[in-house]
């Protein structure tokens, strides 16, 4: 197990470097000059000023040098400044990250709990109530895009019956989470429904697959009661693919959901990305991309750990 972990961590390092290089050089390949985004149009004609700014920002240095410089800054937590607002990127993140975390984490937990419960019951009793409910939810979630679900919910609950606010998170610190709860309900519901669909289907199908495996017959041939067969033999062996799907959703925690955040004017990372992209705010785009990529790396690492815990055969893979 230890050597498995070491091998797995060793792969992470070169991968992280490759990704950082890709992000950096891709942004440098763009034909849009970041200087144009910084300088007001009336000053843009003064090429001497622009040249001076370039020099100060280090944009005239060797590109390899620039890369390592950027990497060093990122690694030491110095994310630089937004070209658009001039704010420190770390300040922007500190302000926006909690909003996204609050939204995505709630939706992730809710959808997981719901999907696992429904999916397990749906698979265990094909054609039962849970199965029917999960099929309806599955079709809705897969067929209807999340922003549309969001708009529909907004239309009904915020505009027609006016039970809930239209979203728009109240600034943290001003009020307690309890007071912000009404603002959370609609965006969280939207994201939950969107995430639920695939997860339910995955869980249900995985349970059905496992039920058909021979060891379930063996368990039954021992006279083990059905609930124990399900709990001890079926569910654990069904969780693998579901956990993988879940782990790959972790990056949403830092990336946010662009569409849902936009629909509900949620001041999270998703809306930050949109703003940064429209304004060609490269430092912000690069930092956010880098953070999301790193979380994806960690998530895939987690996936392997989870798999190896659930299925001891995974630990084999060479060595050991």
CB 235 within 8 A of CB 165: no
Toward another protein, which CB reaches closer, 219 or 263? 219
Toward another protein, which CB reaches closer, 130 or 252? 130
Among 40, 176, 177, 313, binds another protein (CB under 8 A): 313
Distance between CA 244 and CA 81 in Å, rounded?
36
Among 6, 155, 217, 317, binds another protein (CB under 8 A): 217
Among 86, 173, 223, 318, binds another protein (CB under 8 A): 223
Q: Looking at 92-100, 105-113, 187-195, 305-313, which segment touches another protein (CB under 8 A)? A: 305-313
Among 31, 173, 221, 318, binds another protein (CB under 8 A): 221
Does position 215 interact with another protein (CB under 8 A)? The reply is: yes
Distance between CA 288 and CA 255 in Å, rounded?
8
Distance between CA 1 and CA 309 in Å, rounded?
10
**Smallest distance, Å, CB 122 to another protein?**
15
Q: Looking at 44-52, 73-81, 143-151, 209-217, which segment touches another protein (CB under 8 A)? A: 209-217
Site for another protein in 232-251 (CB under 8 A): 232-233, 236-237
Toward another protein, which CB reaches closer, 30 or 218? 218
**Smallest distance, Å, CB 224 to another protein?**
6
Closest among 193, 171, 192 to 183, alpha carbons compared: 171
Among 219, 247, 253, 303, binds another protein (CB under 8 A): 219
Distance between CA 105 and CA 253 in Å, rounded?
6
Does position 182 interact with another protein (CB under 8 A)? The reply is: no
Q: Other CB atoms closer than 10 Å to residue 133's CB: what's the count?
A: 14
Does position 319 interact with another protein (CB under 8 A)? The reply is: no
What are 253's two structure tokens? 């925690």
| Chain positions contacting another protein, by CB under 8 A | 213-215, 217-226, 232-233, 236-237, 310-313, 316
């Amino acid at each position: 197990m230890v050597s498995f972990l070491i091998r797995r961590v060793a792969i992470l390092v070169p991968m992280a470097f490759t990704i950082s290089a890709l992000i950096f050089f891709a942004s440098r390949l763009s034909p849009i000059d970041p200087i144009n985004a910084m300088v007001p149009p009336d000053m843009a004609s003064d090429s001497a000023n622009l040249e001076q700014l370039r020099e100060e920002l280090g944009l005239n240095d060797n590109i390899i040098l620039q890369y390592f410089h950027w990497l060093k800054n990122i690694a030491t937590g110095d994310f630089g400044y937004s070209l658009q607002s001039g704010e420190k990127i770390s300040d922007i993140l500190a302000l926006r990250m909690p909003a996204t975390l609050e939204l995505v984490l709630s939706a992730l937990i809710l959808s997981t709990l719901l999907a696992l419960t429904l999916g397990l019951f749906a698979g265990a009793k094909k054609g039962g109530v849970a199965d029917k409910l999960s099929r309806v939810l599955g079709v809705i979630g897969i067929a209807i895009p999340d922003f549309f679900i969001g708009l529909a919910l907004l239309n009904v609950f915020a505009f027609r019956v006016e039970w809930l606010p239209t979203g728009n998170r109240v600034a943290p610190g001003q009020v307690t989470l309890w007071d912000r709860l009404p603002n959370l309900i609609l965006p969280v519901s939207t994201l939950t429904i969107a995430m639920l669909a695939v997860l339910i289907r995955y869980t249900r199908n995985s349970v059905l697959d496992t039920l058909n495996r021979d060891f379930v017959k063996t368990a039954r041939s021992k006279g083990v009661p059905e609930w124990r067969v399900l709990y001890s033999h079926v569910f654990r062996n069904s969780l693998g693919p579901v956990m993988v799907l879940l782990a790959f959703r972790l990056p949403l925690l830092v990336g946010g959901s662009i569409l849902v955040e936009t629909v509900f004017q949620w001041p999270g990372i998703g809306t930050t990305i949109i703003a940064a992209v429209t304004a060609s705010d490269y430092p912000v785009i690069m930092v956010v991309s880098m953070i999301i990529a790193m979380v994806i790396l960690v998530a895939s690492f987690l996936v392997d750990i989870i798999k190896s815990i659930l299925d001891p055969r995974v630990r084999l893979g060479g060595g050991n």
